[in-house]
């Protein structure tokens, strides 16, 4: 074991460079083999072939067309509808009746009554919407050669390059978080050979106008679900050619005979907060475009790349290079089931980190079901926030993959939900605190939606609170805990007020609730005390107690949490040896044995209530449940299974499920996850599963290489974060640990496990410790 100054970031390099196998991050970033490029030999035909760029708030899908380039544009607050309150006073009247029906085992009647009386108004939420497209048109051409389209994850730039009529044309696009614009630069290698037109196309209501030398699209959102559209938006384009001529007329810019041109897009809506739509998008876009046009392309690009790399380069993941990794990305995905291409996994992992940076930055909206990339007016599931798995999964990798800043929008959303959810708690349940059901949206609606079968689930907000705690646990920032503790407390108060005695009188349970979206054998999903609720509430109460202890407050509340927690039903093993999904042993009679949600397995992952070492019988029951469910499912459901199998320490099985996720039926050519259709949670959940194979924080330990598969014999991962405020690098070779380096900003004692050996390691503030395989001999 070697201790040294933290400034010496050589732990990984020692193992890797000495072996001569791995290249440096900077050097490798310029080649395909770096694992940091998605690339193609043809333009995107369809949206799931186009390449996403994003700055957390603005997004574009870049198609790379030859005669016609399409940048499909998004702004993350452009949702349908406007502020609304979905709470329903009838619910409170019906609540005891619904509970009584559940206690009598009349589940279908309970569901029917909940459906009639307890649901949100309106019963569906408005959708996230597209801004429309910026179209760049180039004249027809006889012949194109040397076409290459790519997305460089290390620079966060999408580019296209081809030769046409003897001229090489290049376009490069990025979404700048520094300058809040989408930038495209077009160049031609022959002076004066660049001609194009730029115009808007949109399915949104709006009109194109000229303002201040810019082309502007003034639009508004639409009414949906009976909620009036209350948002205005504006997209503003500036075109700055070098050489040649520029005209702006009839809704388009016309560039002729230029050497190069810069195209800048700013977009804003009038959204300010879930209850305030008084923003001024016109002033915002004008200020942003003016500020950006005062800079040249090189300055804009340099600021963007530096900002991106500061975050993106914190983690470096390397697996062996094989001939397959030289192929275009769509071919690699097509061949993923038969090829030897471990670097497809590293690309998938780093792409998820790239995507999270692209759709969730401080001050933006959280990552929705599609991150922020959506070309529709009515997106699948509204492309909003499904908080019975999908939103949480989006944030699974944020802490360990060293992108903790990306969690800020989620924290901000929970702050909003604590306000709107307090109205729902009071009105629908007569309870203190706050509640959110299985979905929310830009307007932070918290009522049960879609139908009682799916929506009558009060534990969504409580699950989100796990992320509030995890952010503390990874970073150990007390001031942050002071800030979020009242949110956790409010979530817990709701359950202190609403849990009811089960028929045996022994336990306290949620009622009405569901085990997300799964029908039990009694004709509905409605029930009391599904296992997942008990597990989520065990975490919520424990985290509240822990936080209150750290902050030295609320002794009575702490006690109430402890007393109530002790009365939650324990996890049970059913007649097939499975972990019971419900309080009753219904699993084997449930009509959908391969149901995609594995809600009751929350206790193993993302929670650590069940672990292979501490609770081996329950872990074996989880394994049985997973076997009964099967691995083939929707994209996000496969991703969840990867994490679970990794927690079970079954490396080969875990890897087989990783392969399932990389199959073309679950990964589009642009590497977006396919539910299908596109849903970004699988990208994030899958990436997290890969980390779980290499590093786990369970039972207060940091475990190295807990589920390393044979297909990843040699490798290195640098910069992962572990609970307790540590950063970890790991290098392995021939399937065995070579070395690991721990750094700790706060410093502290870490229990580090490799295989059967556990080692206590003290990391002083600002220093690092290198462990070698001999330390675990």
Close Cβ partners of 648 (under 8 Å, ≥ 6 residues apart): 604, 612, 619, 622, 623, 626, 654
The verdict on 32 binding ligand FUC (CB under 6 A) reads no
The contact mask relative to ligand FUC for 657-676 (x = CB under 6 A, - = no) is: ------------------x-
The verdict on 459 binding ligand FUC (CB under 6 A) reads no
> Least distance (Å) from ligand FUC to the CB of residue 124?
13
> Least distance (Å) from ligand FUC to the CB of residue 438?
7
Radius of gyration of the chain (CA): 26
Q: Report the alpha-carbon distance of residue 726 to residue 710 in Å, rounded.
A: 27
The verdict on 350 binding ligand FUC (CB under 6 A) reads no
The smaller minimum CB distance to ligand FUC, of residues 689 and 719, is found at 689
The smaller minimum CB distance to ligand FUC, of residues 460 and 725, is found at 460
The per-residue b/e assignment along 93-102, b for 16 or more CB within 10 angstroms, e otherwise, is ebbeebbebb
The verdict on 369 binding ligand FUC (CB under 6 A) reads yes
Cβ atoms of 153 and 312 closer than 8 Å: yes
The verdict on 55 binding ligand FUC (CB under 6 A) reads no
The smaller minimum CB distance to ligand FUC, of residues 577 and 677, is found at 677
The smaller minimum CB distance to ligand FUC, of residues 380 and 748, is found at 380
Distances (CA, A) of 311 to 35, 431, 473, 503, 701: 17, 42, 20, 52, 26
370, 535, 634, 696: which one binds ligand FUC (CB under 6 A): 634
The smaller minimum CB distance to ligand FUC, of residues 332 and 675, is found at 675
Cβ atoms of 52 and 61 closer than 8 Å: yes
DSSP 691-710: HHHHEEEETTEEEESTT--T
Q: Report the alpha-carbon distance of residue 522 to residue 323 in Å, rounded.
A: 54
The verdict on 391 binding ligand FUC (CB under 6 A) reads no
> Least distance (Å) from ligand FUC to the CB of residue 516?
7
The smaller minimum CB distance to ligand FUC, of residues 348 and 636, is found at 636
- Count of CB atoms within 10 A of residue 282's CB? 17
**H helices of 552-650, where?**
555-566, 616-629, 635-647
The smaller minimum CB distance to ligand FUC, of residues 416 and 450, is found at 450
The verdict on 473 binding ligand FUC (CB under 6 A) reads no
- Count of CB atoms within 10 A of residue 48's CB? 17
79, 162, 297, 381: which one binds ligand FUC (CB under 6 A): 381
The contact mask relative to ligand FUC for 206-225 (x = CB under 6 A, - = no) is: --------------------
> Least distance (Å) from ligand FUC to the CB of residue 755?
37
The smaller minimum CB distance to ligand FUC, of residues 386 and 424, is found at 386
The verdict on 386 binding ligand FUC (CB under 6 A) reads yes
Window 585-614: residues binding ligand FUC (CB under 6 A): 596
Window 636-655: residues binding ligand FUC (CB under 6 A): 636
> Least distance (Å) from ligand FUC to the CB of residue 512?
18
Question: What H or E segment, with its residue span, contains residue 42?
Answer: none
Distances (CA, A) of 380 to 58, 80, 100, 253, 376: 20, 14, 36, 34, 9
> Least distance (Å) from ligand FUC to the CB of residue 8?
45
The verdict on 517 binding ligand FUC (CB under 6 A) reads yes
Close Cβ partners of 511 (under 8 Å, ≥ 6 residues apart): 98, 99, 102, 103, 500, 527, 528, 529
The smaller minimum CB distance to ligand FUC, of residues 95 and 125, is found at 125
Q: If 0-12 CB within 10 Å is exposed, 13-18 middle and 19+ buried, where does residue 529 land?
A: buried
The verdict on 633 binding ligand FUC (CB under 6 A) reads no
> Least distance (Å) from ligand FUC to the CB of residue 93?
28
DSSP 255-269: EEEESEEEEEEEEEE
Cβ atoms of 198 and 181 closer than 8 Å: no
Q: Report the alpha-carbon distance of residue 208 to residue 777 in Å, rounded.
A: 70
611, 679, 683, 696: which one binds ligand FUC (CB under 6 A): 679
> Least distance (Å) from ligand FUC to the CB of residue 515?
12
> Least distance (Å) from ligand FUC to the CB of residue 382?
9
The verdict on 390 binding ligand FUC (CB under 6 A) reads yes
The smaller minimum CB distance to ligand FUC, of residues 390 and 580, is found at 390
The smaller minimum CB distance to ligand FUC, of residues 150 and 517, is found at 517
Closest-CA residue to 74 (of 204, 262, 248, 240)? 204
The smaller minimum CB distance to ligand FUC, of residues 234 and 368, is found at 368
Q: If 0-12 CB within 10 Å is exposed, 13-18 middle and 19+ buried, where does residue 46 land?
A: exposed
**Total site size for ligand FUC, rule CB under 6 A:** 10
> Least distance (Å) from ligand FUC to the CB of residue 243?
49
Q: Which phi and psi (to 5°) does residue 513 adopt?
A: -155, -175
> Least distance (Å) from ligand FUC to the CB of residue 455?
10
Q: Report the alpha-carbon distance of residue 207 to residue 217 in Å, rounded.
A: 6
Q: Report the alpha-carbon distance of residue 763 to residue 775 in Å, rounded.
A: 15
Q: Report the alpha-carbon distance of residue 754 to residue 701 in Å, rounded.
A: 10
The smaller minimum CB distance to ligand FUC, of residues 594 and 652, is found at 594
Residues that bind ligand FUC (CB under 6 A): 369, 381, 386, 390, 517, 596, 634, 636, 675, 679
């Amino acid at each position: 074991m070697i201790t040294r100054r933290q400034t010496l970031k050589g732990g990984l390099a020692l193992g890797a460079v000495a072996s001569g196998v791995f290249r440096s991050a900077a050097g490798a970033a310029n080649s395909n083999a770096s694992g940091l490029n998605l690339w193609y030999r043809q333009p995107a035909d369809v949206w799931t072939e186009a390449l996403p760029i994003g700055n957390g708030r603005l997004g574009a899908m870049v198609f790379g067309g030859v005669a016609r380039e399409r940048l499909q544009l998004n702004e993350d607050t452009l949702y349908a509808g406007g502020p609304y309150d979905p709470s329903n006073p009838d619910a409170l009247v019906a609540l005891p009746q619904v509970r009584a029906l559940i206690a009598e085992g009349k589940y279908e009647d309970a569901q029917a009554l909940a459906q009639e009386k307890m649901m949100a108004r309106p019963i569906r939420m408005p959708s996230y919407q597209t801004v429309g497209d910026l179209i760049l048109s180039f004249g027809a051409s006889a012949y194109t050669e040397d076409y290459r389209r790519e997305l460089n994850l290390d620079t966060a730039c999408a580019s296209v390059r081809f030769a046409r009529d003897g001229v090489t044309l290049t376009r490069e696009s990025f979404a700048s978080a520094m300058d809040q614009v989408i930038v495209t630069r077009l160049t031609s290698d022959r002076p004066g050979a660049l001609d194009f037109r730029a115009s808007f196309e949109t399915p949104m209501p709006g009109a194109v106008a000229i303002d201040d030398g810019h082309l502007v699209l003034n639009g508004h959102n639409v009414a949906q679900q009976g909620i009036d559209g209350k948002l205005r938006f504006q997209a503003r384009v500036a075109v700055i050619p070098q050489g040649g001529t520029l005209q702006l007329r009839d809704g388009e810019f016309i560039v002729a005979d230029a050497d190069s041109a810069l195209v800048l897009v700013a977009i804003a809506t009038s959204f300010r907060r879930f209850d305030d739509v008084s923003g001024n998008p016109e002033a915002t876009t004008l200020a942003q475009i003016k500020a950006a046009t005062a800079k040249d392309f090189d300055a804009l690009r340099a600021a963007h790349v530096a900002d991106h790399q500061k975050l993106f380069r914190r983690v470096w993941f390397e697996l062996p290079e094989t001939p397959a990794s030289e192929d275009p990305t769509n071919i690699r995905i097509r061949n993923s089931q038969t090829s030897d291409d471990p670097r497809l996994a590293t690309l998938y992992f780093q792409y998820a980190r790239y995507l999270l940076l692209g759709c969730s930055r401080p001050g933006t909206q959280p990552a929705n079901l599609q991150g922020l990339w959506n070309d529709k007016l009515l997106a699948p599931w509204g492309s909003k926030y499904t908080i019975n798995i999908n939103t949480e999964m989006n944030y699974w990798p944020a802490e360990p993959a060293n992108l903790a800043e990306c969690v800020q929008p989620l924290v901000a959303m929970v702050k909003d939900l604590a306000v709107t959810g307090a109205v729902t708690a009071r009105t629908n349940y007569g309870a203190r605190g706050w509640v959110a059901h299985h979905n929310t949206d830009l307007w932070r609606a918290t009522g049960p939606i879609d139908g009682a079968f799916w929506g009558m689930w009060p534990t969504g907000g409580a699950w989100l609170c796990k992320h509030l705690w995890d952010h503390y646990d990874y970073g150990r920032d007390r001031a942050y805990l002071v800030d979020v503790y009242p949110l956790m407390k409010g979530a817990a108060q709701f359950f202190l007020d609403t849990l009811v005695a089960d028929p045996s009188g022994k336990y306290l349970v949620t009622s009405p609730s569901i085990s997300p979206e799964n029908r039990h054998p009694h004709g509905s999903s409605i029930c009391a005390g599904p296992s997942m609720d008990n597990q989520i509430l065990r975490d919520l109460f424990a985290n509240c107690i822990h936080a209150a202890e750290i902050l030295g407050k609320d002794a009575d509340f702490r006690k109430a949490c402890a007393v109530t927690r002790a009365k939650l039903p324990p996890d049970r093993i059913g007649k097939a040896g499975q972990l019971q999904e419900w309080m009753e042993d219904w699993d084997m009679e449930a009509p959908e044995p391969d149901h995609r949600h594995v809600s009751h397995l929350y206790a193993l992952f993302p929670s650590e209530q069940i672990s292979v070492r501490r609770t081996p019988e329950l872990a074996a029951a989880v394994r049985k449940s997973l076997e009964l469910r099967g691995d083939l499912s929707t994209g996000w459901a496969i991703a969840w299974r990867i994490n679970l199998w990794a927690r079970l320490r079954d490396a080969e099985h875990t890897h087989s499920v990783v392969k399932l996720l990389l199959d073309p039926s679950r990964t589009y050519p642009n590497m977006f996850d396919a539910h299908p259709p596109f849903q970004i949670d699988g990208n994030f959940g899958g990436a997290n599963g890969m980390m779980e194979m290499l590093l786990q924080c369970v039972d207060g330990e940091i475990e190295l290489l807990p589920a390393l598969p044979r297909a990843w014999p040699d490798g290195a991962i640098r910069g992962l974060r572990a609970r307790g405020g540590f950063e970890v690098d790991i290098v392995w070779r021939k399937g065995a640990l070579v070395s690991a380096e721990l750094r700790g900003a706060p410093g502290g004692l870490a229990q580090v496990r490799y295989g059967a050996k556990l080692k206590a390691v003290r990391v002083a503030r600002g220093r690092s410790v290198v462990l070698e395989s001999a330390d675990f001999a």
